[in-house]
C-alpha cells in the first residue's frame, strides 16, 4: 500500500514538473519577440532532459538496465546541449 502511494506521488510530481516546463516552452516560443524563440527551444531541450531523467529513475526501479543506460546517455547529451547554449548566450549577448 505504501509503495503504491509513493509511486502515485512520484508520477504526480513528475507530471506537474513536465507540464510546467511545457507551459514555459509555449510561452517563450509563441510570443512576439523573436529572441525568445531561442529560449523556448532551450526550455524544450530541458523538458526532454527532465523526461529522460525521470524515465531513467523509473527504469532503475523496474530493473530495466539497458533502457536506463540509454536514458542516461540522452540526459547527458541534453545537458551538454544546454551547457553549450548557455555559454553561447552569455558570451555573445
CA 69 to chain CA mean position, Å = 16
More confident residue, 4 or 62: 62
pTM of the model: 0.80
Mean pLDDT of the chain: 87
How many structural domains does the chain have? 1
Domain holding 68, by residue range, is: 2-91
- Taking only the tens place, the pLDDT of each residue in 36-81 is 888 888 889 999 999 999 999 889 988 999 999 999 999 999 999 9
Four-point Cα dihedral 51, 57, 62, 67, nearest 10: 60
Residue 27 sits at the vertex; the CA angle it makes with 26 and 29, to the nearest 5 degrees, is 65
Amino acid at each position: 500500500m505504501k509503495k503504491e502511494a509513493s509511486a502515485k506521488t512520484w508520477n504526480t510530481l513528475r507530471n506537474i514538473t513536465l507540464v510546467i516546463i511545457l507551459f514555459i516552452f509555449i510561452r517563450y516560443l509563441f510570443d512576439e519577440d523573436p529572441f525568445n524563440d531561442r529560449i523556448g527551444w532551450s526550455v524544450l531541450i530541458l523538458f526532454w532532459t527532465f523526461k529522460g531523467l525521470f524515465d531513467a529513475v523509473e527504469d532503475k526501479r523496474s530493473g530495466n538496465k539497458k533502457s536506463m543506460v540509454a536514458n542516461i546517455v540522452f540526459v547527458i547529451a541534453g545537458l551538454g546541449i544546454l551547457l553549450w547554449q548557455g555559454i553561447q548566450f552569455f558570451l555573445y549577448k
